[in-house]
Amino acid sequence: VGCSAEGGGRGECGRGRATVAQRSGVFRRPFYGWYIVGGALVAQFVAVGTQTYSSTVFLKPMTQDLGWTRSEFSAVQTVSTVVMGLVGVGIAALIATSQVHNLWEFYLARGVAQTVGNAMLGNLVVNVTVSKWFIARRGMAVAIASSGVSLGGVLMTPVVSWVAGTWGWREAWVF
């Protein structure tokens, strides 16, 4: 029994035979691969939105509140990039970042822990996972899942900015 070429209830690999109702189109179980695509889109949205796009929202309030310079705040991106390259635990890191009081805590929570978590949700992981679920619609599935990256930039930054302005930067990290 091989895999069929499309989703929509017909893309399961060796998971039993279709019933008469399924073949006639009366009942079609949703293809599980599309749930994977949806989860991948959300993962990309959160990972890229928090790691890359929305961090600038926190520059002014955190540097003023904690007495850091802009270069000290921005240098965490260097730590983040190095860790991302070496590793390739997101929610706990966001909560930890909301509790920082010292520069070293910020570097540990945002530069290391958040980056490790986001690397586990990154493009390589998402693209490989989604690709394994699709044959004929693979390109479309990967494109939809990857759109989370752009949505992270378009939607995450204004929302995080609004939350930080309304409730403060600590609450925005947890949001």
Least confident of 12-16, 45-49, 105-109: 12-16
| pLDDT value, residue 14 | 44
Closest CA to 3 of 139, 141, 137, 134: 134
Q: In the structure, what pLDDT confidence band is assigned to residue 1 with cuts at 50, 70 and 90?
A: very low
Q: Tokens 């992270």 — which residue? A: 152
Distance CA 171, CA 175 (A): 6
pLDDT at 100 over 50: yes
| pLDDT value, residue 26 | 64
Mean pLDDT of 132-149: 89
pLDDT at 166 over 90: yes
pLDDT at 81 over 70: no
Q: How crowded is residue 71: how many other Cβ atoms within 10 Å of its Cβ?
A: 8
Mean pLDDT of 119-135: 80
Mean pLDDT of 39-60: 83
| pLDDT value, residue 23 | 58
Mean pLDDT, the chain, as a whole number?
77
Q: In the structure, what pLDDT confidence band is assigned to residue 38 with cuts at 50, 70 and 90?
A: very high
